[in-house]
Amino acid sequence: MKPEFRTIIEPFRVKTVEPIKFTTREHREKCLKAAGYNLFTLHAEDVLIDLLTDSGTGAMSAQQWGAMMVADESYAGSRSFYRLEAAIQNIMGFKNIIPTHQGRAAEHILFTIAAKPGQVIPSNTHFDTTRANIEYGGTEARDLVIPEGRQPDLIHPFKGNMDVEALRQMIAEVGRERIPMVMLTLTNNSGGGQPVSMDNIRTVSQIAHENGIPLIIDACRFAENSWFIKLREEGYADKTPLEIAREIFSYADGCTMSAKKDGLANIGGFLALNDDGLAQQCRNLLILTEGFPTYGGLAGYDMEAIAQGLHEVLQEDYLRYRIRSTAYLADGLVAAGVPIVQPPGGHAVYIDARAMLPHIPSSQYPAQALAAELYLEGGLRPVEIGSLMFGKPQPDGSETAAALELVRLTIPRRVYTQSHIDYVIEVIARVNAHKDTIKGFRITYQAPFLRHFTIQLEPVE
Ligand SMILES: Cc1ncc(COP(=O)(O)O)c(C=O)c1O
């Protein structure tokens, strides 16, 4: 499926603009120090190109804003809820749709009801909020991605696949009664934004169901995953993204979803379940923690934005541009000699900081050191996905290192143009030229859970 022209054009015109602020290196040095060298603690207006996340940072369409104006803000039985429910069921087919304020709220409700201490939940790779919500309840979160998924420079079309033999072995060892669900994260965010093949989803579903275990999909980037299946998996080239998405969800018993990603909305999420009994228990907890089941922590206009977003995210022009423009950033970095996870993911390009900065040990957080330097050099704000995020403090004061030390350059949806991305490539190429001078960090404060959000650091001299 070669595009007719080489130049990527954004499949939209710009109608509203938001100025971005240019700053000096001196200013950024002050800002970074004041933020405890944690990019999450920066004021966003001191960032020029914000690549921290693709979550809730996308630009909405005129149709979404229009739908928001005619939303129904009724507390109970809102028309906007039924529109959202219909939009989700059209794609995913699940019976019970439970809106939440974002993805982690859906996760928290699901694991509170369905998982017990001492149980184990396998996934290809759990995202950090998923892992934290599972572990918070005393359940183990286990990652079973295929070995290829752990090798940053190895090219494989579906590096997000689950190792199905490892899953079979785990079920035999742990026992099906101690596994409340099997999960699959589409695409595999923490493993490099890599897709999962339809064949793998089908096989994982079969294994889970043979053992009486439900399959729950973390569906945050289901549309991007569907597009990769269309491009890379035999038999899917002529299917529409909607048909592919429908097949994916037909193998599952439910999903958790952050609509801040492939819902093309700035806030929102949902839990979807086929099991009526489980859904009822989840709704009861929803009323306690989020809100009434027909709004679950969202305004009527948020539900309208998501309903429309779910329609737009499956458009072929949009997905072609989305995946191709991420690949454009990857191509530019490879040409500049920067080591990245290959092939590039759907929503982000991941720099392999361990390969780029071999002089900084994991105990000094090489990916964080690189992320901070990209901010100082050109006002970029990427995010560390390495030992700062996933390192585990041990009783003797040491830490286990993360499997990979990655810097994620996350592309907000429909926000930046090709010239913004050209600038990003230029900044990173400049940093690559003086990479040997970059220094690591040590921690001065950390919270017990999800520490990377609030961590405070100081440079190692
Ligand atoms: C794969 C995955 N799962 C779950 C979440 C959590 O969603 P939220 O940020 O809406 O709570 C995220 C967010 O980045 C994610 O990428």
Three-class HEC string of the chain: CCCCCCCCCCCCCCCCCCCCCCCCHHHHHHHHHHCCCCHHHCCHHHCCEECCCCCCCCCCCHHHHHHHHCCCCCCCCCHHHHHHHHHHHHHHCCCEEEEECCHHHHHHHHHHHHCCCCCEEEECCCCHHHHHHHHHCCCEEEECECHHHHCCCCCCCCCCCECHHHHHHHHHHHCHHHCCCEEEECCECCCCCECCCHHHHHHHHHHHHHCCCCEEEECCCHHHHHHHHHHHCCCCCCCCHHHHHHHHHHCCCEEEEECCCCCCCCCCEEEEECCHHHHHHHHHHHHHHCCCCCCCCCCHHHHHHHHHHHHHCCCHHHHHHHHHHHHHHHHHHHHCCCCECCCCCCCEEEEEHHHHCCCCCHHHCHHHHHHHHHHHHHCEECEEECHHHHCEECCCCCEECCCCCEEEEECCCCCCCHHHHHHHHHHHHHHHHCHHHCCCEEEEECCCCCHHHCCEEEECC
Q: Is the pLDDT of residue 191 over 80?
A: no
Substitution candidate for ligand 1 out of 109, 127, 390 with most atoms within 8 A of CB: 127
Distance 336 CA to ligand 1 centre (A): 31
The reported pLDDT for the residue numbered 22 is 96
Q: Which of 252, 247, 106 is nearest to 181 (CA)?
A: 252
Average pLDDT, whole number, for the chain? Answer: 96
What is the pLDDT at residue 1? 52
Q: For residue 2, report the distance from its CA to the centre of ligand 1, in Å.
A: 32
Å from CA of 104 to ligand 1 middle: 6
Q: How far is the CA of 129 from the centre of ligand 1 (A)?
A: 7
Where is pLDDT greater, at 27 or 403?
27
**Is pLDDT at 199 greater than 80 in this prediction?**
yes
Q: Is the pTM of this model over 0.85?
A: yes
- pLDDT exceeds cutoff 90 at 120: yes
- A 10 A CB-CB count for 235 gives 9
- What is the C-alpha to C-alpha distance for residues 318 and 45, in angstroms, rounded to an integer? 28
pLDDT for residue 2 is more than 90 = no
Tell me the best of 129, 131, 255 to mutate to test the pocket of ligand 1, counting ligand atoms within 8 Å of each CB and taking the most. Answer: 129
Say how many Å lie between the CA of residue 24 and the centre of ligand 1. 33
CA of 259 to the centre of ligand 1 (A): 9
For residue 347, the model assigns a pLDDT of 95
Q: Residue 220 C-alpha to ligand 1 middle, in angstroms?
A: 7
State the closest ligand 1 atom to the C-alpha of 268, by its place in the atom list counted from 1: 10
Say how far apart CA 262 and CA 67 lie, in whole Å: 18
Contact residues of ligand 1, CB 6 A cut-off: 55, 102-104, 127, 129-130, 185, 189, 218, 220, 258, 260, 269
The ligand 1 atom nearest the CA atom of 54: 14
CA of 460 to the centre of ligand 1 (A): 32
Average pLDDT for 219-240: 98
Residue 186: pLDDT band by 50, 70, 90 thresholds?
A: very high
Determine the Cα–Cα distance for residues 288 and 449; give it in Å rounded to an integer.
23
Task: State the pLDDT at residue 189.
Answer: 85
pLDDT tens track for 327-349:
999 999 999 999 999 999 999 99
Q: pLDDT by residue (tens digit) across 35-84? A: 999 999 999 999 999 999 999 999 999 999 999 999 999 999 999 999 99
The answer to whether residue 399 scores a pLDDT higher than 80 is: yes
pLDDT digits (tens, 9 = 90+) for 86-104: 999 999 999 999 999 999 9
Closest protein CA for atom 16 of ligand 1: 189
User: Which atom number of ligand 1 is nearest to the Cα of residue 53?
Assistant: 14
- Residue from 52, 100, 101, 104 whose mutation best tests the ligand 1 pocket (most atoms within 8 A of CB): 104
Q: Which range among 189-193, 362-366, 396-400 shows the weakest confidence by mean pLDDT?
A: 189-193
Which residues are paired to 443 by β-bridges? 457
CB-based contact 119:178 (threshold 8 Å): yes
CA 332, 336, 340, 343 torsion: positive or negative? positive
- Mean pLDDT, rounded, for 351-363: 96
Q: How many Å lie between the centroid of ligand 1 and the Cα of residue 130?
A: 8
Encoded amino acid at 344, one letter: P
- Output the pLDDT for position 150: 87
Q: What is the pLDDT of residue 436?
A: 97
Task: Say how many Å lie between the CA of residue 223 and the centre of ligand 1.
Answer: 15
Q: What is the pLDDT of residue 365?
A: 97
- Report the atom number in ligand 1 closest to the C-alpha of 104: 11
Give the number of the atom of ligand 1 that is nearest the alpha carbon of residue 102: 10
**Residues 268, 309 contacting (CB under 8 angstroms):** no
Mean pLDDT confidence for 219-238 = 98
Q: What is the pLDDT of residue 128?
A: 85
pLDDT score for 315: 98
pLDDT higher than threshold 70 for residue 132: yes
User: Distance between CA atoms of 245 and 239, rounded to whole angstroms?
Assistant: 10
pLDDT for residue 3 = 58
Taking CA atoms only, the protein residue closest to ligand 1 atom 2 is: 127
Neighbours of 299 (CB within 10 A): 17
Between 371-385, 391-405, 437-451, the lowest mean confidence (pLDDT) is in: 391-405
pLDDT tens digits for range 309-318: 999 999 999 9
How many angstroms separate the CA atoms of 411 and 427, rounded?
Answer: 16
